[in-house]
Amino acid sequence: MRAVIFDWGGTLTPWLSVDYRAAWRSYADALHPGDVDQATRVTSAILAAEADAWRVARDEHRAFTLGQVLATAQAAEHPGGFTAYRAYWEHATYTDPEVAPLLTGLRAQGLRVGVLSSTPWPAAWHEEVLRRDGVLDLFHATVWSSDLEYTKPHPSAFRAAMAAVGVDDPADCVYVGDRPYDDISGAKGVGMRAVLVPHTEIPVEQQVPVDVEPDAVLQRLSELPAVLDRWR
């Protein structure tokens, strides 16, 4: 075992429900201040475009970005809109307090640690969040699907994360995530061990039935070192 790679949302961050319409409405209100009807239309268009993008990600594993979503919705990219959108999401972005001591301990054991996340957000947003919470520098590498052609569970996404942390054999890697399809089946499909953190309320439209068993199940991230010790 040489590396442990983590999912971000719902794994490194505790899962919190977000009203996607309200999040995009904050964007649309900044884009069209004072025009309630146009903001309502733009919100619906963005939501529909985002839902379509997630369907393609689910069915074809193709990654996408917020910029592509907005382009499909024929909505302009607006700095003030992004500020409002990020402010709406902020409460759901805080890193689990157990992450910093966990990563410190894993690094002390000589393990490489990284992130692989399916996300349309730009890498800079995520890095700002991790930096804010004092954990960015604890990762050897972070990989966001917004920078990739394919997202989880596509094998190329996992290989990109392996390459980023400097490991070439998937048997030397453990992946920790919250989704049976994206995370567990994807990691095991490429040859990694997979650990499930089963706390996420996965949207119905993103669920995919999958016949796969994780190698371990955690209720808290602090339980991970004991699991890893069994595999040494």
pLDDT in tens, 73-95: 999 999 999 999 999 999 999 99
Nearest Cα to Cα of residue 6 among 232, 194, 212, 169: 194
The answer to whether 224 and 101 have CB atoms below 8 angstroms apart is no
Residues 49 and 128 in one domain: no
Between CA 199 and CA 178 the distance in angstroms is 7
Residues 38 and 79 in one domain: yes
Among the candidates 91, 116, 149, a domain finishes at 91
Number of domains into which the chain is organized: 2
pLDDT at residue 17, rounded to an integer: 84
* C-beta neighbour count of 19 within 10 angstroms: 9
Among the candidates 91, 122, 139, a domain finishes at 91
Asked whether residue 8 carries a pLDDT value surpassing 70, the answer given is: yes
Mean pLDDT calculated for residue range 3-10? 96
Q: What is the pTM of this model?
A: 0.94
The range of the structural domain enclosing residue 204 comes to 3-15+93-230
Q: Which of 10-19, 77-86, 110-119, 149-158 has the lowest mean pLDDT?
A: 10-19
The answer to whether 177 and 7 have CB atoms below 8 angstroms apart is yes
* C-beta neighbour count of 31 within 10 angstroms: 22
Among the candidates 42, 71, 91, a domain finishes at 91
pLDDT at residue 206, rounded to an integer: 65
